[in-house]
Structure 1
Amino acid sequence: MIKKNDLFEAEITAMTAEGSGICRADGMAVFVPGTAVGDRCVVRVVKVLKKYAFGRLEELLTPSPDRTTPDCSIAGPCGGCVYRHITYEAELKIKTQRVRDALERIGGFENIPMEPILGAPSRTRYRNKCQLPIGLSKNGEMQMGFYAVNSHRIIDTHTCLLQPEVFDRAAEAFRAWQKLSGESIYDEAAHSGVLRHLYMRCGEKSGEVLVCIVANGAKLHGEDLLVKMLREAVPEITGIVVNINRERTNVVLGRELRTLWGKPTIRDTLCRLEFEISPHAFYQVNRTQAEALYNKAAEYAGLTGAETLLDLYCGTGTIGLSMASRAKKLIGAEIIPSAVENARKNAAHNHVTNAEFLCGDAKDAARILYERGERPDIIVIDPPRKGCDAAVITTIAAMRPTRVVYVSCDPATLARDLKQFTAENYNIEAVTPVDMFPGTAHVETVVLLSKGEVDSKKVRVEFSLEDMDMSGFQNDATYSQIKERVLQQTGLKVSSLYIAQIKQKHGIIERENYNKPKSENTRQPKCPPEKEAAITEALKYFGMI
């Protein structure tokens, strides 16, 4: 049995999902970062668990033909890029195999209709967003870069090959300003000091650049000097802002922004649509590959202009809006109110008049469509890394779309969800991996699912909305959804306390002490009549009364 610090010779035969090589010692799998399939090497055991172990590359005896000279000196300790030591062709093969393995081993699928992976035109300088944590080195000077693997130890970084060169210039100007101004550095443990992160965004097409300083406070020393130095170093810059984050949290951005110079947003173009991007707004970090992914999703959707398209997990609406011109109607559903508002603004800004965005989940969208006598012909889903809840897949199947286009950022949860879709009588028609983040272990996948055979010209499926089970769509509206509905319909802002009062008035039982005062003698403000009427309308809208 192997133990810690043992040395052994082995050949790397496969890769993990995280980008480590796999070899075997005494019948146990050992995971070794920085290796490639075909490497013959000496490995030192650094950690042993019950079923597998972790190793470190001690000596490379015979290199893999896939190996190449790494172009980044900190790729190892940084850990963000796990494939800079192999060719891009080898990286794409690994990512394709990762998707295939997940579908076969987790999903149990055979004869998978895999299309070639969509590789990126460039492995470098593709990211349009960067957030650099700031800390103090052992000698008391500012350091700024990326966290080492599985830690909050900052690897001081002066250039990153994933970021555009303009970010390097802005970061160096910021470092120089900090030395001149003497502005303090945030200490995570003591929750003291000011400078927390340097956060930058740029528009690939527009060329606009936004620099955001995340601070544990509202003011910086030498703000005028900071603006001068950044503008001189980065003529492309269009905005400089301070983000105020006084919370003890690992979340990078606080809620409040203050503009030092220029405008607090940038513009960029994606799939012929223009987006206004704030520090808080979601936007694909690799715009070029996002277009490739969205185009493949649109190809799979097969829109002819006569269909109702439902975009679940729509976020700020980018995928659905990129297809809206090819659909009769677009309906987006998203549970986060701020994202829904951004989606509506994006539609208005791009003069998209056939789009509607709902605040809610799949069941909310299904209920609304059912009440209108509508059904989606095609559904696009782009869930978070955890994938879809089983109830969401059941709801999608109940709506009986002819096609479902699943965009996934995790092959394992994709395989699990596809297994349920096939149990709901959906067939996997096509699978395309997409390399959104070259150099890293991540891989996206687009899948086409269909009810019956897919014909490029016409699909006909007989169904009835009466077949849909709507019994589970009641009494589940959240407080955020009720507030969003009231604000949308009346322009009024209502508190959770007022909602609780009206729910109680209509006999909707709340859990014990929910939104109730701690003291029985505490006087509560009474909900005004106009807000009571608005909340009552929302409760009716959500089928709760």
Structure 2
Amino acid sequence: MIKKNDLFEAEITAMTAEGSGICRADGMAVFVPGTAVGDRCVVRVVKVLKKYAFGRLEELLTPSPDRTTPDCPIAGPCGGCVYRHITYEAELKIKTQRVRDALERIGGFENIPMEPILGAPSRTRYRNKCQLPIGLSKNGEMQMGFYAVNSHRIIDTHTCLLQPEVFDRAAEAFRAWQKLSGESIYDEAAHSGVLRHLYMRCGEKSGEVLVCIVANGAKLHGEDLLVKMLREAVPEITGIVLNINRERTNVVLGRELRTLWGKPTIRDTLCRLEFEISPHAFYQVNRTQAEALYNKAAEYAGLTGAETLLDLYCGTGTIGLSMASRAKKLIGAEIIPSAVENARKNAAHNHVTNAEFLCGDAKDAARILYERGERPDVIVIDPPRKGCDAAVITTIAAMRPTRVVYVSCDPATLARDLKQFTAEDYNIEAVTPVDMFPGTAHVETVVLLSRETNPLTVEVRMEVETGEVKEHPTYKRIQEYVQEKYGFKVHTAYIAEVKRMVGLDMHKAPNAVEQRKHEYHPCPPEKVEAIKDALRHFGLIAE
């Protein structure tokens, strides 16, 4: 049995969702940060738990073909990036596999219709927002940067390859101002001192820059000097604001803002729409990849101009508004009042006249819309990392939209929710991973779900010759019969295959494609017989 400080040789064979390599020692999985699949290395055990352990790369014996020289000197201690030591091609493969693994292991899906991941044009300088915590070093000087992994210890950082170079210039000017002004640094434990965070935003298309100083107070020493130094260092700057946050909290921004110079917002363009972005407003931090994601979501939505589109978890309305010109009507729902107000302003600013935005959580909003008789043709959902409430999915299914487009930031909760959607008689038609945050462990996914008119709904028909009313079972009822009698699951695609095999009428889904984009494995013989048995049981084929 391995124990702490043991050294052993091993090969890295897989990666975790957090970007650590996985090897084995004495039959136990050991997670090793900073390694790559194919590395042969010496690992030191640093922590042993009941079923797995954590290790540290002690010596690299044979490097993986995926390895490359890290381009950031603090990538290890910072922890924000976990893939800077491997090629981008390898990173994209890992992220694709992460989505596939979640859908197979958590969702129980087979033959997933996975499209190629949408990789980013650049791994560097893509973020349009930066939040730098401020603290005191051991020698009493200001430090500013990013928190080390799983801690509130600040790694002093003078440049970050994920942020635009203009943020580096603004941060250096701010450091110089603090030395001259002597403004105090916030102490989290004592809740004393003033400077808490430096928060910056920029418009990728507009080039506008906003600098926001988060302070435990309503005034700074030397405000005029700060404005002067920032404007000299960053000619692109369009606004400097003070955010007042006196709360004992880890939340970065307080509610109050005071403009020190310029305007308190920036403009940017996304999917041909212009957005006004305040420090509090949500806006995708990688604008270029956000456009790729929204374009894929719009492709999946398949709007023709005749549909009602419902955008749940709509935030400031960006996804729904990007599709509004292709819909008859847009309804957005969001729980945060300020975001709803921003969505309405964004609609007015872009002359979108067919949009309505409601304030309320997704569950209540969906229920209210259902009760007032709204039956959207297409529903787009972009929930937080925790995924959808089960009641939301139930209400969505009750509305019976032809298509549901699910935008996810967590493959695990996505897989869980898709399992419920398929139980509600929706098919997974297409899955596309999107790399919104290169270098980091995060991956987004866009999924198209559709409901076919015949096999996925309960149909009650009057038989002309006998007058007998017959109920035609859903795929779900067929799956339940097979599971109960034979003890295994059958995918809806297999049921459809067997129904065609025995000559049952199949209505084609309105969004069906002529040629699959993924490899399809035929239904195994034992499942064919089980499905035929179910069809006989429900009277769809003769004994």
TM category, shorter: 0.7 to 0.9
Is the CA contact (8 Å cut-off) linking 2:370 and 2:395 kept in structure 1? no
Does 1:88 pair with 2:114? no
Structure 1 Cα separation of the partners of residues 260 and 363 of structure 2 = 44
Decide whether the 8 Å contact of 1:402 with 1:461 is kept in 2. no
SS at match of 2:420: helix
Which residue in 1 is equivalent to 2:72? Answer: 72
Residue 461 of structure 1 deviates from its aligned partner by: 11
Counterparts of 2:230 and 2:362 in 1: how far apart (Å)?
Answer: 45
Aligned to 2:123: 123
Deviation at 1:453, TM superposition (A): 7.4
Q: Which whole-Å CA distance do the structure 1 matches of 2:459 and 2:208 have between them?
A: 50
TM, length-normalised to structure 1: 0.83
What's 1:134 paired with?
134
2:488 matched to which residue of 1? none
Matched residue, 2:143:
143
The corresponding residue for 2:392 is 392
Alpha-carbon distance between aligned partners in 1 of 2:334 and 2:253, rounded to the nearest angstrom: 22
Report Cα offsets for 1:95-124 as digits up to 9, x if no partner. Answer: 000000000000000100000000000000
The 1:101/1:460 distance shift into structure 2, 3 A limit, reads closer
Question: Structure 1 pair 71/49, CA: closer, same or farther in 2 (3 Å)?
Answer: same
Residue-by-residue CA offset, 1:227-280 (whole Å, 9 max, x unaligned):
000000000000001101111110000010111100000000000111100000
**Residue aligning to 1:383:** 383
Secondary structure, counterpart of 1:127 in structure 2: coil
1:102-181 equivalence runs, <5 A = 102-181=102-181
Q: Which residue of 2 aligns with 1:247?
A: 247
In structure 2, the partner of 1:234 is 234
Paired residue for 2:280? 280
Change in 2 beyond 3 A, CA 1:104/1:370: closer
In the other structure, the counterpart of 2:411 is: 411
In structure 1, runs of 5+ residues without a counterpart are 464-545
Q: Is the 8 A contact 1:193 1:216 kept in 2?
A: yes
Give CA-to-partner distance per residue, 1:319-355, whole Å, 9 cap, x none. Answer: 0000000000000111222211111111111110000
- Alpha-carbon distance in 2 for matches of 1:390, 1:103: 18
Aligned-partner SS, 1:100: helix
Alpha-carbon separation, structure 1, partners of 2:109 and 2:46: 36
Instruction: Determine if contact 2:310/2:379 at 8 Å carries over to the other structure.
Output: yes
CA contact (8 A) 2:366 2:392 kept: no
Match of 1:402 in 2: 402
**One-letter code of the match for 2:360?**
G
Q: Name the aligned partner's letter for residue 301 of structure 2.
A: A
1:256 matched residue in structure 2: 256
Which whole-Å CA distance do the structure 2 matches of 1:99 and 1:448 have between them?
Answer: 15
CA spacing shift, 1:462–1:265, aligned 2, 3 Å = farther
CA contact (8 A) 1:362 1:396 kept: no
CA spacing shift, 1:207–1:462, aligned 2, 3 Å = farther
Partners of 1:185 and 1:289 lie apart in 2 by 36
**Structure 1 counterpart of 2:82, which letter?**
V
Distance 1:310 1:184 in 2: 48
SS, match of residue 338 in structure 1: helix
Report the Cα distance in structure 2 between the residues aligned to 1:42 and 1:114, rounded to whole angstroms. 36
Deviations for 1:113-142, whole angstroms, at most 9, x for unmatched residues?
A: 000000000000000000000001011110
What is the CA–CA distance in structure 1 between the aligned matches of 2:270 and 2:140, rounded to whole Å?
43
> How many Å separate the matches in 2 of 1:15 and 1:234?
41
Residues in 2 aligned to 1:181 and 1:304: alpha-carbon distance in whole angstroms = 59
In structure 2, do the counterparts of structure 1 residues 127 and 214 end up closer, same or farther at CA, with 3 Å as the change threshold? same
Amino acid at match of 2:187: D
* Correspondence for 2:190: 190
- Could you tell me which residue of structure 2 aligns to residue 211 of structure 1? 211
**1:225 matched to 2:225:** yes
Name whichever of 130-139 and 332-341 sits farther off. Answer: 332-341
How many angstroms does 1:362 deviate by?
3.8
Deviation at 1:373, TM superposition (A): 3.5
TM-score (norm 2): 0.83
Q: Separation in 1 of the partners of 2:381 and 2:83?
A: 29
Question: CA-to-partner distance for each residue in 1:265-312, whole Å, 9 max, x for gaps?
Answer: 000000011110000000000000000000000000000000000001
In structure 2, the CA distance between the partners of 1:104 and 1:319, relative to structure 1 (3 Å rule), is: same
Q: Give the partner amino acid of 2:52.
A: Y
Conserved? CA contact 2:367–2:395, under 8 Å: no
Contact 1:215 1:242 in 2 (8 A): yes
Q: Report how far residue 151 of structure 1 moved.
A: 0.4
For the Cα contact (< 8 Å) 2:298–2:323, is it kept in 1?
A: yes
Shift of 1:462: 9.3
SS in 2 for 1:58: strand
Aligned residues of 1:28 and 1:53 also touching (Cα < 8 A): yes
| Match of residue 354 from structure 1 | 354
SS in 1 for 2:343: helix
Matched, 1:309 2:316: no
Counterpart of 2:386, as a letter, is: K
* SS of the residue 1:433 aligns to: strand
Moved more, 362-371 or 187-196: 362-371
Contact persistence 1:362–1:395 (CA under 8 A): no
2:65 aligned with 1:62: no
Superposition map of 1:16-27 within 5 A: 16-27=16-27
C-alpha displacement of 1:372: 4.2
- Number of the residue aligned with 1:45: 45
Distance 1:234 1:462 in 2: 66
Distance 1:441 1:453, change over 3 A: farther
Runs of 4+ in 1 over 6 A off after TM superposition: 459-463
How many residues were matched structurally? 459
| Cα 1:47–1:350 shift into 2, 3 Å | same
